[in-house]
Amino acid sequence: MGQAHAMRRLLTEAARALLCLAALSAGAASGGGRIEVGPGDDWFAVLAGDGLRAGDELVLRPGTYADRRLLTLRHRGAPGRPVVIRAGAGGEVVFHRPDARQNSLNLVGASHLVLRGFEITGGSAGIRISADGAGTVEGIVLEDLHIHHTGGAAVTCNHEGSHYRNMIFRRNHIHHTGGHGEGFYLGCNNRPDGTAPGTFAESLIEANHIHDLRGGTVSQGDGIEIKDGSFGNIVRGNVIHGTNYPAVTVYGTDGGAPNVIERNLIWDTGDHGIQAAADAVVRNNLIAGPGGDAIHCRSHQSARPGNLQLVHNTLVAPDTGIRIQRPEGGFTGPVIVANNAVFAPRALRVPVGEAVRIAANAGAGRSEAALAGDAWRGDIPFEQRDLAAGRGLAGAAHPGFPAGPDLDGSPRPPDGPDIGALEFAGDTPPPFRPRLRPRRPGPED
């Protein structure tokens, strides 16, 4: 009787797997099919197999997906017809790797692939993305994922020989990492000869909530780190706090388009709020309570400060607001520090002359440089009611440094914009609300 029951169970499981694979094959024959799998199906074979085609959608039924085998996804969609793997309705979809011997998900040689709406916990890295050998990875979209309590970084694009293009990472909730501990580790460290073996470019990191990257096992813990030689990226609208290293770190672009860091809300970092070596536009960010400087610029790997725009930020720091270290060999291009609202004992530590231009910054604290004209007005008391009402900031920005929409996305007037990250309506504080995606609180939130 027991053998018959066992045989029946094996046949049932085999039938489930065959039905699942048959549905997958039928949907994938021409692409554009919709397939559903659940934890009780042979989901591992579907995810690790090669049956999904451009335009296919794989829907994951609610439940926990756990397996100790190495899970590698190699699905390749096409521009405008990605392969989509998403959580279905009716409950949470959780990928839980029970140990840190492997990454939870490995994307190898995948392209035009969308992962959406599920939870990843455990493992080493939450998601590691690479080319299959040396090559280009493009069109990967990670959105509405919840990645937490990993043994290493949450998301890595740092495989040597891989070059990442046109990636979109948005509305993800990332917290409680381990090891190196970055929320997003993007690009590779330079080789000894100064060249970048892997770059991350022309991509969007937007509206993510990243926090608590400084547990006992975290050795670094940047919120978003974009390595040397990576270029043309937009880091926008993220909420980042509780990091061990800076909330955002960018190096140089090696001649590529600048990286843009804008409209981010940052507080309570263990290091600087934003660290930018070169070739970056840093605008409309609000940074409060950093462990180091609110914005810090210094040489890093092959990058020397230059080609920097630090404009229309609001900075509240216990020591230094903006610090730019004079590089050995001189600046590599112009540096603009303008229209920032800075509230810190040492508001500006910026070398003057050479390539540096400083204009229309205001707040509380002192400047350590002999600044001329409209460069610094340190006469606004450091009180929250004054900061909220915009006293001394409204309409006082230099018109020559436009910065686009403010922190909350409100347009700036063409004439007489306000100093800092926020536009004020007269003396009324703007209706700023951080855009956090709804989520279920965890036990350590």
Nearest to 226 by CA among 262, 266, 276: 276
Residue 166 has pLDDT above 50, yes or no: yes
Do 256 and 279 form a contact (C-beta atoms < 8 A)? yes
Mean pLDDT for the stretch of residues 381-388 = 58
Phi, psi for 111 (deg, rounded to 5): -155, 155
- ∠ CA(59), CA(178), CA(60), 5° rounding? 5
pLDDT score at 426: 55
Q: Which run of H or E residues covers position 22?
A: helix 2-28
pLDDT per position as a tens digit, 25-82? 444 444 679 999 999 999 999 999 999 999 999 999 999 999 999 999 999 999 999 9
Q: Which positions ≥6 away from 108 have C-beta within 8 Å?
A: 72, 73, 74, 130, 131, 132
Measured from the Cβ of residue 2, the count of other Cβ atoms closer than 10 Å reads: 6
Domains of the chain: 31-389 (2.160.20.10)
Higher pLDDT: 99 or 267? It is 267
Q: Which positions ≥6 away from 7 have C-beta within 8 Å?
A: none
Residue 428 has pLDDT above 80, yes or no: no
Do 229 and 196 form a contact (C-beta atoms < 8 A)? yes
Helices (H), 30-85: 43-48
Confidence of residue 352 (pLDDT cuts 50, 70, 90): confident
pLDDT score at 77: 97
Q: Please state whether the predicted TM-score (pTM) of the whole model is above 0.85.
A: yes
Confidence of residue 11 (pLDDT cuts 50, 70, 90): very low
Beta bridge partners of 349: 323
Distance, in Å, from the CA atom of 160 to the CA atom of 136, rounded to the nearest integer, reads 11
First to last CA, the chain: 50
Beta bridge partners of 137: 164
Measured from the Cβ of residue 433, the count of other Cβ atoms closer than 10 Å reads: 7
The token pair that represents 135 in the structure block? 């090559």
Do 210 and 234 form a contact (C-beta atoms < 8 A)? no
Distance, in Å, from the CA atom of 220 to the CA atom of 398, rounded to the nearest integer, reads 38
pLDDT per position as a tens digit, 358-372? 888 988 887 765 454
Nearest to 226 by CA among 207, 264, 254, 252: 252
**What percent of the chain stands above pLDDT 70?**
82
pLDDT score at 297: 96
CA quadruple 238, 298, 317, 339: dihedral, nearest 10: -80
